[in-house]
Amino acid sequence: TDVQSQILTLLTLANGSSVVTETVFENRFRIVDDLLKMGANIRVEGISAFITGVKELKPSVVTAKDLRGGMSLLLATLSAKGTSKVLEPVHIDRGYESYIEKIKGLGGDVERKNS
């Protein structure tokens, strides 16, 4: 379940339909609302998320509510054409060292703004 958020995010852009079922932890689908704001096609029923891939995600303002979900949303925003914002990056900070520099090193257009 540790990579579930990342897999779920990836599946939003995959061809076809997929199902992700969570049997261990509650609240692992917390990123779904933000992915829906970005144009993802996801339906949650009980412990399963039904995902149909879309062509692209739209830029949006999303909120990092936890470590893995926050990084997943950051990666989702990188795939969107346009400017997005990730609120509460402190959740990402506590688990990923120098992630801004690493993403930039891979060609990602990301910056940290203090507010």
User: Which CATH superfamily does the domain covering 4-105 fall into?
Assistant: Enolpyruvate transferase domain (3.65.10.10)
Distance between CA atoms of residues 109 and 63, nearest Å: 18
- What residues does each domain of the chain span? 4-105
74, exposed or middle or buried, with CB in 10 Å at 0-12, 13-18, 19+? Answer: buried
**pLDDT above 70: residue 60:** yes
**Average predicted confidence (pLDDT) for the chain:** 94
% of the chain surpassing 90 pLDDT: 87
DSSP 8-state class, residue 74: H
Does this model's pTM top 0.75? My answer is yes
